[in-house]
């Protein structure tokens, strides 16, 4: 019977984020435990470079949001799913683990699934990135998530005809009815939901407070920590105790009132700029006078930051700015194409290795089938192998492969591409950041000077507007 648990992974003491992620993924993918990597699969990442891809997404998340929880930051989540000895094979266990992770993360987070066969009981180690695929959010470890995980695991095991624990003991007295919404949510959870409902229509923190009061909440904002109580709630809830996206600081950030991003330049003197807001367009969308007042102040500050950014980077003329922005875009586009080309070829090699392996294993069976004169009885007896052999041959014909390369040569090529990809990724973030900052600065200069922006600057502007609509 399958057992499953979930644990958050924090930075290990005395180690960096990169080292912590590498330690965890290396343990999961241990070739001695996974039949030399045969039972390791990944979603939205290459298992062999998963730690670096996780790290890259976290850097992009910091760049996009400016949020850094330091030592309290959850880097990833570790799921362990073990099965009853003798009840399942490794390939099926890996398939179940993959479906479990896909369902639990709702396809929003990359993960690896490594099936260990070194113990009497086959078990999966699943490591999924806490940062979402779009690098805009993080996985929220909701209350009794372990029970939700167990429920998904049980349903999958039943689907595959495996045994499950009939009467699991829920921790702290909670049962499945409480978990799946058949029990009244707590005051805290109700407040979180209300906050998420109200924020999209608010232009400022003051608008948010007014909206909560309009819903009947008693708001005490006279003390150091703001608290709120819903109608019928005896003890008010302090916002700073909600954690995550619902604290006062997080709410202000979501409203765009306190965007604080860590400095990254040499000596800590690097200036970050944001795209100027099209105030008239926002007013036409229904934003009120309070928003207009805040936006004018915001634009003045960002215009000053833009001038400081140009000075720091030695840009004295508009033509110089345009040339540097165009050059940065070209460099980033070239780098991106190289990374995608390497990833495409790596995927092709992985698929080709699979088909070559299948072709080799089924070649003798297919040869005997041919010598039998295509005998129907022989075909029915060996239908699976013959079908797989034909599928492999069809794939070779599709890609125009006349002579099969050796597995050793493919592995060597893959290793070379992986090393090249890692090297390219090391400069990817700085190249992208440099391009975006120059294009944003150019967009601001275009608005200030009344110059019609080019296509690249308009694209950056559209992205910023989408971000503003999400945050404001």
In a domain, 268, yes or no: no
Q: How many domains does the chain have?
A: 3
* Among candidate residues 161, 179, 197, the one where a domain is terminated: 179
Q: pLDDT of 387-429, one tens digit each? A: 889 988 998 998 898 899 998 999 899 989 988 888 887 788 7
Return the HEC string of 256-279. Answer: CCCCCCCCCCHHHCCCCCCCCCCH
225 alpha carbon, distance to own chain's centre: 32
Is there a contact between 437 and 309 (Cβ–Cβ < 8 Å)?
Answer: yes
User: Tokens 């229904």 appear where?
Assistant: 286
pTM greater than the 0.75 cutoff: no
In a domain, 384, yes or no: yes
Q: How far is the C-alpha of 370 from the C-alpha of 467, rounded, in Å?
A: 62
Return the HEC string of 67-121. Answer: CCCHHHCCCEEEEEEECCCCCCCHHHHHHHHHHHHHHHCCCCCCEEEEEECCCCC
Are 399 and 349 members of one domain?
Answer: yes
User: Tokens 């109580």 appear where?
Assistant: 229
- For residue 110, the model assigns a pLDDT of 93
* Among candidate residues 159, 179, 199, the one where a domain is terminated: 179
* Among candidate residues 254, 274, 289, the one where a domain is terminated: 254
Is there a contact between 141 and 135 (Cβ–Cβ < 8 Å)?
Answer: no
CATH of the domain at 109: 3.30.930.30
Asked if the model's pLDDT at residue 114 lies above 60, the reply is yes
Are 153 and 221 members of one domain?
Answer: no
Are 206 and 156 members of one domain?
Answer: no
Nearest to 17 by CA among 77, 78, 75: 75
- For residue 175, the model assigns a pLDDT of 42
User: Tokens 């690896």 appear where?
Assistant: 112
Are 75 and 118 members of one domain?
Answer: yes
Asked if the model's pLDDT at residue 239 lies above 80, the reply is yes
Q: pLDDT of 257-288, one tens digit each? A: 433 333 333 334 455 566 666 667 666 666 66
In a domain, 127, yes or no: yes
Q: pLDDT of 158-191, one tens digit each? A: 778 887 765 554 444 444 344 334 356 788 888 9
Give percent of the chain with pLDDT exceeding 90.
22
Are 343 and 367 members of one domain?
Answer: yes
In a domain, 275, yes or no: no
Handedness of CA 184, 212, 223, 73 (dihedral sign): positive
In a domain, 273, yes or no: no
- Among 189-193, 421-425, 447-451, 455-459, whose mean pLDDT is lowest? 455-459
Q: Which residue has the higher pLDDT, 444 or 265?
A: 444
Q: Which two tokens stand for residue 414?
A: 């893959």
Q: Which domain holds residue 150?
A: 3-179
To which H or E segment does residue 41 belong?
strand 40-43
Asked if the model's pLDDT at residue 332 lies above 60, the reply is yes
Please give the average per-residue pLDDT across 372-385, as a whole number.
91
Asked if the model's pLDDT at residue 106 lies above 80, the reply is yes
Are 146 and 175 members of one domain?
Answer: yes
Torsion angle defined by CA atoms of residues 449, 450, 451 and 453, in that order, rounded to the nearest 10 degrees: 110
- Among 56-60, 110-114, 225-229, 274-278, whose mean pLDDT is lowest? 274-278
Asked if the model's pLDDT at residue 17 lies above 90, the reply is no
Are 168 and 27 members of one domain?
Answer: yes
Are 95 and 240 members of one domain?
Answer: no
Q: How far is the C-alpha of 416 from the C-alpha of 192, rounded, in Å?
A: 49
In a domain, 325, yes or no: yes
- For residue 186, the model assigns a pLDDT of 84
Please give the average per-residue pLDDT across 334-355, as a whole number.
88
User: Tokens 């073990």 appear where?
Assistant: 82
Are 174 and 197 members of one domain?
Answer: no
Are 94 and 167 members of one domain?
Answer: yes
Q: pLDDT of 281-294, one tens digit each? A: 666 666 667 667 76
Per the prediction, the chain carries an average pLDDT of 81
- Among 131-140, 203-212, 345-354, whose mean pLDDT is lowest? 203-212
Are 157 and 93 members of one domain?
Answer: yes
Q: How far is the C-alpha of 319 from the C-alpha of 341, rounded, in Å?
A: 33
In a domain, 312, yes or no: no
Please give the average per-residue pLDDT across 26-49, as a whole number.
89
Q: Which residue has the higher pLDDT, 200 or 39?
A: 39
In a domain, 109, yes or no: yes
Are 174 and 106 members of one domain?
Answer: yes
């Amino acid at each position: 019977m399958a057992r499953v648990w979930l644990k958050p992974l924090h930075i290990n003491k005395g180690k960096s984020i990169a080292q912590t992620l590498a330690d965890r993924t290396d343990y999961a993918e241990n070739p001695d435990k996974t039949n030399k990597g045969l039972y390791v699969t990944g979603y939205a990442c290459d298992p062999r470079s998963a730690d670096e891809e996780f790290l890259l997404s976290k850097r992009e998340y910091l760049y996009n949001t400016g949020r850094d929880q330091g030592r309290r930051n959850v880097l990833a989540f570790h799921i362990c799913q073990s099965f009853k000895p003798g009840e399942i094979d490794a390939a099926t266990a890996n398939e179940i683990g993959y479906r479990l992770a896909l369902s639990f993360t709702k396809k929003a987070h990359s993960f690896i699934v490594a099936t260990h066969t070194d113990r009497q009981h086959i078990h999966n180690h699943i490591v999924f990135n806490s940062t979402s695929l779009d690098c805009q959010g993080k996985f929220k470890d909701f209350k009794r998530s372990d029970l939700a995980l167990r429920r998904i695991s049980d349903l999958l095991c039943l689907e595959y005809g495996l045994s499950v624990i009939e009467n699991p003991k829920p921790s702290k007295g909670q049962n499945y009815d409480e978990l799946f919404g058949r029990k009244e949510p707590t005051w805290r959870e109700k407040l979180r939901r209300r906050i998420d409902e109200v924020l999209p229509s608010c232009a400022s923190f003051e608008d948010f407070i007014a909206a909560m009061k309009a819903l009947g909440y008693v708001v005490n904002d006279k003390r150091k920590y703001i608290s709120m109580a819903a109608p019928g709630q005896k003890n008010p809830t302090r916002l700073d105790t909600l954690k995550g996206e619902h604290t006062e600081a997080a709410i202000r950030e979501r409203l765009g009132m306190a965007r604080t991003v860590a400095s990254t330049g040499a000596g800590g003197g690097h200036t970050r700029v944001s795209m100027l807001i099209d105030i008239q367009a926002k007013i036409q969308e229904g934003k009120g006078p309070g928003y207009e007042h805040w936006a004018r102040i915001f634009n003045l500050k960002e215009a000053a930051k833009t001038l400081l950014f140009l000075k720091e980077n030695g840009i004295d003329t508009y033509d110089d700015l345009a040339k540097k922005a165009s050059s940065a875009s070209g460099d980033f586009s070239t780098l991106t194409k190289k990374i995608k080309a390497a990833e495409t070829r790596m995927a092709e090699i992985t698929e080709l290795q699979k088909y070559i392996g299948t072709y080799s294993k089924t070649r003798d069976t297919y040869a005997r089938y041919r010598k039998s004169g295509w005998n129907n009885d022989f075909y029915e007896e060996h239908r699976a192998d013959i079908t797989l052999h034909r599928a492999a041959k069809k794939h070779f014909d599709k890609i125009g492969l006349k002579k099969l390369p050796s597995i050793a040569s493919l592995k060597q090529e893959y290793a070379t591409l992986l090393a090249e990809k890692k090297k390219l990724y090391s400069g990817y973030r700085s190249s992208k950041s440099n391009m975006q900052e120059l294009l944003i600065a150019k967009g601001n200069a275009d608005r200030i000077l009344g110059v019609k922006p080019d296509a690249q600057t308009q694209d950056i502007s559209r992205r910023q507007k989408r971000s503003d609509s999400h945050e404001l």
